[in-house]
Amino acid sequence: MVLCSLELNGFRNLLPGTLHFHPGVNLLWGKNGAGKSNLLEAIYFLFTTCSFRTQRTSELVARGQSSFRLVAQVETRSGSYRLGVEQEGRSRTLVLDDKKVGLEQVLERFSVLAFSSRQMEILEGGPRERRRFLDRGILALRPGYLRELGEFSRTLAQRNRLLQTGATATEKAAWDERFAAIAARIRVARRSYCAQLAVALGEHAGELAPRCGTMKLIYRPSPAAAGATVPAPGVDEKGEDLDQAEREILDALGRRAAEERRMGHTLVGPHRDEVRFHVGDMDLARFGSAGQRRAALLALKVTRMEMVRQVRGELPLLLVDDLDSDLDEEASGALLRRVSRSQAFVATCKYGSMRRFSPQVQPFRVSEGRVEAAAPDEGDSSTAVVTHPAGEEPWNRANRAY
């Protein structure tokens, strides 16, 4: 997958205009606050309709503007597409090749992965961040999961309203069954993904995060299930039986019925799942050093990238925010050697030190919201236009290692 061009209008501090990108590594360099992260955020929003930095979409609109618009030309193994998104207040419009589409249709065609120090919350924050990490990983492999998440969210909200306002025994029984059915699908999907991720980590974590030793995942669904800990690599895991999961959830709802009526909300289900990351018997969030946690996050992200490649047949677009401030030199080099096989956008304040790890890059100088292509020797900047190598399709360039 290759992002060929991006038209910006009204997004944060980025000046309006159209940027053309290299099919390999695009190195964004400039001072802090110049707009490097804003450009990465714009790209991420285009393909996901969310930000990896904030949950408030209103923060993405430039000062003095009421809306923003992003339009891109994208090439994938299956063809060339024109994708656009416009956000005005709470109204959002996605357009693919001049037709309005939903997010699922975008996720089916495109995949993007962001690496940022802000995502350390996956390891250090509350369980909600880790649930989001799982769900986004599943969506990258199976976009139809978006419908299941939406159905679960609506069912949970309706069941909570019934608990708060009162419901007949018949109404509650019907909603318990409906809730258990969709909750079981979410739980089985998460458990299956954790098992896949555990196996893939076993293949890649040693190279990417040697200081972490053997990483493992512990998935704790709500309610607790037998064998909740994800099997180690090499163990046969067929996943959890859907009917069994549904029965366990229904039983738990029955056991906690009185407590739920008193509290006024649902006390068991995927919205209360937890995932922990361990090195040996050590919980990384509680006892891991800052360096171990950063290395573990790197291993998780690159492992996800490889999982997407295996399932979709091409690498996702990779966005790396402030690489040099978040990772030591060894980890930075390991990541850049990996991303050089795909199209990547890497933000840094230290152009020279980053370039030596991956000399085949297109640098862009970013200053006060202006993005301009620069010569590899840091010469005079020019209009941000980069042409693709003659006779080679961009997606072939980005995936030719495979």
Mark whether 302 and 330 lie in a shared domain.
Answer: no
Mark whether 17 and 100 lie in a shared domain.
Answer: yes
116, part of any domain: no
Check whether the bond before 389 is cis (ω within 30° of 0): no
119, part of any domain: no
Mark whether 287 and 177 lie in a shared domain.
Answer: yes
% of residues, the chain, pLDDT over 90: 58
- The pair of structure tokens assigned to 305 is 């990238």
**Among candidate residues 275, 290, 313, the one where a domain is terminated:** 313
| Contact assessment for residue 215 and residue 301, using Cβ atoms and an 8 Å cutoff | no
Q: How far apart are CA 262 and CA 168, in angstroms?
A: 15
Contacts of 92 by beta carbon, 8 Å cutoff, 6+ apart: 49, 85, 86
Mark whether 157 and 270 lie in a shared domain.
Answer: yes
**Among candidate residues 291, 313, 335, the one where a domain is terminated:** 313
118, part of any domain: no
Q: Which range, 57-71, 302-316, 347-361, 373-387, is most confident?
A: 57-71
> With 50 as the cut, is the pLDDT of residue 396 above it?
no
Mark whether 293 and 327 lie in a shared domain.
Answer: no
Tell me how far apart the 2 most distant CA atoms of the chain are, in Å: 74
- The pair of structure tokens assigned to 93 is 């419009």
Mean residue pLDDT of the chain comes to 85
User: pLDDT tens across 22-47, in order?
Assistant: 998 899 989 989 999 999 999 999 99
CATH of residue 374's domain is: 3.40.50.300
Domain that holds residue 400: 1-111+316-402
Mark whether 104 and 164 lie in a shared domain.
Answer: no
Mark whether 322 and 308 lie in a shared domain.
Answer: no
**C-alpha closest to that of 299 among 182, 197, 155:** 197
Mean pLDDT, range 251-269, rounded to an integer: 96
User: pLDDT tens across 49-89, in order?
Assistant: 999 988 899 999 999 999 999 999 999 999 999 999 999 99
160, part of any domain: yes
Task: Enumerate the β-bridge partners of residue 86.
Answer: 69, 93
**Among candidate residues 256, 282, 313, the one where a domain is terminated:** 313
- The pair of structure tokens assigned to 279 is 């090195």
Reported as type and span, the H/E element at residue 257 is helix 257-263
Task: Give residue for tokens 């708060």.
Answer: 164
Q: How many domains does the chain have?
A: 2
Is residue 92 helix, strand or coil?
strand
The CA–CA distances, whole Å, from 87 to 61, 218, 248, 286 equal 8, 38, 42, 39
CA terminus-to-terminus distance, the chain: 13
Q: How far apart are CA 3 and CA 279, in angstroms?
A: 36
Q: Pick the more confident residue, 336 or 201.
A: 201
Mark whether 296 and 228 lie in a shared domain.
Answer: yes
User: pLDDT tens across 264-313, in order?
Assistant: 999 999 999 999 998 878 888 888 887 788 888 888 888 898 899 999 98
